[in-house]
Amino acid sequence: MSATQELFAVTSKQLTMMTPPQIDALNEVLDKELSRLVDALSKGEDSLQHALMQKKESKRSGNGWRQRWPLCLREAESLAREHIETEFEPSRRDMLMYGFRDGPSYRERLRKHLEALDNLRGERDRLLQGPGALLDGEWDKRGGWSRFITVPDGHMHRGRQCHTIRATTVTYWHPELSGRSDEEAVKAHGPFLCTHCYPGAPTAWRLDPAEERAKEKAKSECPGSRRCVELPPAMARRISKYATCPTCGREGVSVTSTWKLRVHKPKGEGGK
């Protein structure tokens, strides 16, 4: 029996006899299945939008730009159903450009994409209303217990309910720590507790993983990295420039177009 089959086969009576780690092992399976469906729904939306001959537009998002569809998913589905009901036919040129033979093949493609999206939503609802509801119910009956999940190269959270986690965020459950203390979690996975999930935890347990990685990286760099150097005329005329680091003495360090030494390890550490 696969993990997903076990998830659907579990009963409320069986859950009452399970430990928190055993229950959260099932929650981990549930979360993976929901993540798979979220990804499939996103791809299904792209397929439907493309079948409707939509083109992504650049739209402002924070400090940058993102490519987004001009229609939201609900609008795209409404338009697709309207085209099917009214037997709408795009221009011959557009149909050839998007690979449709004729109007019926265009509308048939729309039907398939709409059906696929409905099937995915149905699968998601069965997960949430079946195993998901049972697992949440058992959690509520017991008054909850400590849970720990992590994100790639990031913090440890109490659960997916943290506002810093999105529906598309990849998460890793740690059911072996369910019901354990924060201190045990820190010993197992480092002092990277989320500041929002654990506001009362000691500051030493709420470090920023990115900052810690940057500090570790800086320790392995030569202090002479990124510093300007003088080059002899013969070397300065070359496209690929190299120099000896005046700080550590390493030879053959690559030099940028602005005559700065590239990041390198001190002499004697993994090089000359």
E-strand stretches of the chain = 57-61, 64-68, 149-150, 156-157, 172-173, 241-243, 253-255
- 3-state percent breakdown (helix, strand, coil) of the chain, nearest 5: 50, 10, 40
Pairing, β 172-173 against β 253-255: unpaired
Q: Terminal CA-to-CA distance of the chain, rounded, Å?
A: 56
**Positive/negative CA dihedral, 178, 180, 181, 183:** negative
Domain borders along the chain are 3-142, 146-219, 221-272
Average pLDDT over residues 76-99: 94
Q: Are the beta carbons of 178 and 188 closer than 8 angstroms?
A: no
Q: Which residue has the higher pLDDT, 153 or 242?
A: 242
What pTM value is reported for the model? 0.74
Residue 3's pLDDT band, with cuts at 50, 70 and 90, is confident
Q: Which residue has the higher pLDDT, 76 or 238?
A: 76
So what's the pLDDT on residue 270? 58
Mean pLDDT is lowest, of 38-42, 136-140, 213-217, for 213-217
For residues 20 and 159, give the distance between their C-alpha atoms in angstroms, rounded to a whole number.
Answer: 14
For residues 222 and 95, give the distance between their C-alpha atoms in angstroms, rounded to a whole number.
Answer: 60
Q: What are phi and psi of 19, to 5 degrees?
A: -85, 160
For residues 58 and 21, give the distance between their C-alpha atoms in angstroms, rounded to a whole number.
Answer: 45
Q: What are phi and psi of 253, to 5 degrees?
A: -80, 130
pLDDT tens digits for range 7-26: 999 999 999 999 999 999 99
For residues 259 and 229, give the distance between their C-alpha atoms in angstroms, rounded to a whole number.
Answer: 6
